[in-house]
Structure 1
Amino acid sequence: MNAHPLVHLIWLLPLAALVIYVGSPRMTGTIALARVRRLLRSALDPRKFTVLDDLDLPAGGGTMHADVVVVSRCGIFVIDTMHRSGKISGTRVQARWAERRWWRTLRFDNPVHANALRIEALAGLLNLPISRFHGYVAVSGPARLQDSLPDNLVTVPQLLARIRSENRMLLEADEADRALRVLMDSALERPWNPRRRWYWARLALLVLFLTAAGLTYHEEITGLAAKLQHQADWRMAPENYHPDGSAKSDIERWEDRLVCSYSADTGRCACYEPAGGRAEISPERCRELAERGSVLKR
């Protein structure tokens, strides 16, 4: 039974919502943060570096957000993340940078300035001089960075090399431990974690999309599943199928188990069950089974 043509439009609604969400700044920012977090936690030695991410910390009379903070004796690395796909241009002193993407130009705040403000706030919170901090802005995505950009704006692969290149000991062991303790103790609890909220939003969109696609293409999906199951059964028990892949009937499978003997001298033919009992079968069919060579022939 064919579905109404309008049913085929149902899956377009969640698909459009999913595409819009994936391309939204919130989602691309989440992707950038997740990529940096995964890279640093898998590649940095946990005995020397402690990676904290997605922190809300007190700053002055309000709060500040830090994407990633890495604490080590080589200093405290304050890393902002962003996802960009165009050609980025700007200088350290410019308040606004530009991203040229296809036919349009997008303007956004200088991320290096924001990173410097974050370092100042963290220096006050931890009671450490700014010289003990390293600030980086990690860019994920297919962005192209102009040479005029500050050197602490790096791609995600470059970030790891930059951190590892900082090998001067800037903090004593007790200073690094105290900084880590203050950061963990000062992190503000969120009544509702935004990342969890957007996780459920993505899950709901995905479930809605799969449900709509399933209703729209039910017959096609059922047919494909049956075909795959048939191929799996054929591979597992080829004796139950003809060479062309069609399934044998119950009678054909029973006849395959018979042992038939035909004597050309006497014209007599007999078929026997695997257990030894004689099978009731016509002489003509008995001879066919014996002659086809799949059973005994005498």
Structure 2
Amino acid sequence: MGLIEILINAALQVWYIFPVILLTYITTTPWFKGLWGEFQVNMLLKRLPQNEYHRLKNITLPTDNGTTQIDHIVVSQFGVFIVETKNMKGWIFGSANQKQWTQKIYHYSSKFQNPIHQNYKHLKTLEALLNINIDALFSVVVFIGKSEFKTQMPDNVTHASGCLSYIRSHSVELLDQQQVLDIINNIESGRLARGFATNQAHKVHVKEIIKQKTDQKLCTKCGSYMVLREAKKGQNAGSTFWGCSSFPKCRAVEKFN
């Protein structure tokens, strides 16, 4: 029996391992985590009475300099709720005015954009599209996953089903039924066509924005974006360095000059 036949027979004996490895890899990718987080939030929003609240999801809208993508929009007579989803784990630190928040998992810390600021662009885009009073627009940030807030968060930043309580806490009618229907029609007619091409174009736009914010600092090993981090221990404790945003998959670091 040749070497190739031996390898084929060996592979056939453990064929079931390969789908498990592939599935494990897929479930750890940012794409899957984002998709899974949005699915969970969508299931939560389904608990709202359908005769009062109208749900729209994965809406890509054109802007002056590209596109913006909104995870979920809930339209009701009590206002329009723009929902931003974050599927994260670990401890979350942040405040309404900070540009960046911190995620900490054991001794590992990373920065991410303040989701309130991120959602503000969505809110302003909808304000321009719908031409309604901004007082009828509400930003909601929902964290899904095994995360825990370690600082006091604003009321509109919630964990899991807390978003339902926040939405239902708005009980004053700000829009009439015709306005609700008009808003839904305007969003549907103003959104870009769903599909792979729209999503890819938006991803390219987002990467370009990140590249500008990070001065085009890319990881020399994997090509991901580098982010500024602070050493927590050792002789370099307190010093700043560049770390790969794909950590722990990629552990590349560079000195910060």
Structure 2 length-normalised TM: 0.69
**Which structure would you say has the larger Rg?**
1
* Alpha-carbon distance in structure 1 between the residues aligned to 2:160 and 2:32: 17
Q: Deviations over 1:200-219 (max 9, x none)?
A: xxxxxxxxxxxxxxxxxxxx
Matched AA of 2:186: V
- After superposition, residues 107-186 of structure 1 pair within 5 angstroms as 107-186=111-190
Match of 2:37 among 26, 29, 32: 32
Structure 1 residues 191 and 147, CA, compared in 2 at 3 Å: closer, same or farther? closer
Q: Which has the higher strand share?
A: 2
Q: Deviations over 1:71-110 (max 9, x none)?
A: 1110000001111110000111111111111231122111
Question: Which has the larger displacement, 78-87 or 53-62?
Answer: 53-62
SS of structure 1 residue aligned to 2:138: strand
Match of 2:92 among 88, 93, 99: 88
* Alpha-carbon distance in structure 2 between the residues aligned to 1:6 and 1:40: 45
* Alpha-carbon distance in structure 2 between the residues aligned to 1:8 and 1:110: 49
* Alpha-carbon distance in structure 2 between the residues aligned to 1:8 and 1:155: 45
SS of structure 1 residue aligned to 2:161: helix
Alpha-carbon offset, residue 194 of structure 1: 8.2
Structure 1 residues 157 and 178, CA, compared in 2 at 3 Å: closer, same or farther? same
Structure 1 residues 85 and 78, CA, compared in 2 at 3 Å: closer, same or farther? same
Give the ranges of 4+ consecutive aligned residues of structure 1 lying more than 3 Å apart after TM superposition: 2-14
- After superposition, residues 101-112 of structure 1 pair within 5 angstroms as 101-112=105-116
Aligned to 1:22: 27
Q: Which has the higher helix share?
A: 1
* Alpha-carbon distance in structure 2 between the residues aligned to 1:121 and 1:159: 22
Structure 1 length-normalised TM: 0.60
Counting matched residue pairs gives 193
Structure 1 residues 50 and 193, CA, compared in 2 at 3 Å: closer, same or farther? farther
Tell me, which stretches of 5 or more residues in structure 1 are unaligned?
196-298
Q: Is the 8 A contact 2:92 2:151 kept in 1?
A: no
Alpha-carbon offset, residue 4 of structure 1: 4.8
The percentage of counterpart residues that share the same residue type is 25
CA RMSD in angstroms, aligned pairs only: 2.2
Alpha-carbon offset, residue 17 of structure 1: 2.7
* Alpha-carbon distance in structure 2 between the residues aligned to 1:45 and 1:57: 26
Q: Does 1:70 align with 2:74?
A: yes
